[in-house]
Structure 1
């Protein structure tokens, strides 16, 4: 049975707003939380990018919902040994209700040390090695590792997770879906793509969780909602690998000039048509997703949570 959670966007909201949204999500009937992990927002209009591990610590004291990162890159900006410590502490604070979603990352967030941005093939190798290192550390054992991409010298997590930390691997293409099936405890993708889910299942993912997310903009004024999405999240509609290779918010703003309001109107669920919202989310359930996270774009958070509590979530569960 599909579970429905709320997606917290660190790029668009302040830490305090994210905590308030988490509380509202709990009251509205969402049963899980997901949270993005960024160093930069996608564009200047979003205007935020809090350190996700601090926010997760605050969430653990504010609500009793499970939390999943969607997604963390444990390979460049943070060494996997440091990411493992952050994830282990998050799991302890959340009483085991934590899952680590990981991916090969975007230059937008990972270039900040000035390192060259690797090819996808190299990044996939790095991710696979990083997942292995983190799993060893999660046991609380003393770990030394001398690999192709990472060295770990006598590292031990003294605050080790009491529960197993599931590692969900993000993928947007067949090669990455195969990687997710081979090394992940679950699969993260942002479109209800049955072929991609099938590729994951056929390559070691049978019986593992499939996780997705969708952004919407609930508003009584559909035109205003479309304009809001076009201003804040045109990056959702950029094609190909641009999201992985562009290095700064300014570059994303330049690329987003290709995205028109008409493209937003035809691709993103905007307005207050309950059936449109239900169908946008239900598409993931039909595609075999176990968890779906819905994120509300813009400031009308209270109206969104009221509508989902009273109308959308009951229809999804009905």
Structure 2
């Protein structure tokens, strides 16, 4: 199966995307476009709905999401920076909670192509929960990524407020792509045991077949540390997953292709069903940085339920990825 997608009615598609990105008319407005697969064909996408009217609301986008489908969206929203409205774009990768694990693999291999077509954004949200698409939560994430969200933390030792960074203390690191200002992903500190574990899994002579890493004490602001590792399969991996934790797994799987053993690497992002919406949003901003740490994989999977992680679902994804 191809890893790229085609567009049904390309003119309509590009017009809808352009209308969300356009600054013509009112600068301060919410607008959106909802994209889906034609007849659930992984290699064909189309516009499901869009709204660029003065009264558009992101809630209209959310109401169009379906639990048994993989869908995508581009949202336009504004945040206030130095007392001025600044437009931000949000990319949504919606994986419905009722999408079968085998279908997730089929859609996962084309996700990169879909995202490239939609274009750059300031914030990426990959989710299967409507709670993650709360406008207040989205606004807060955009403000934090812009450096304008002012945090006041309590100092545990002295009981005194400790001011966090504001926009005037830290400047965004940004790059310009096709006319859109996009902040680079946040850096992540990594424990040496994680890097060693990744190296061991990638070594065909090493008996280890997987390594899992998570944030220290479950705090996404802290470094990535090794949670566990093993020489078994998905059944062994499922044992270390928790419903309230975020975990990243690199899994080495051997398949037989034309009677020849072939190694495939699978990168799995685990976000448990009981992880708080704010934590999920922060995880989405670290996605690129984490993938850089684990390096190239033959395919990636996003999971939130243990029932999704089986040898059958992995085999299905592997057969689709070729």
Q: One fold, TM greater than 0.5?
A: no
Structure with higher helix content: 1
Structure number with greater CO (CA < 8 Å, separation at least 6) is 1
Structure with higher strand content: 2
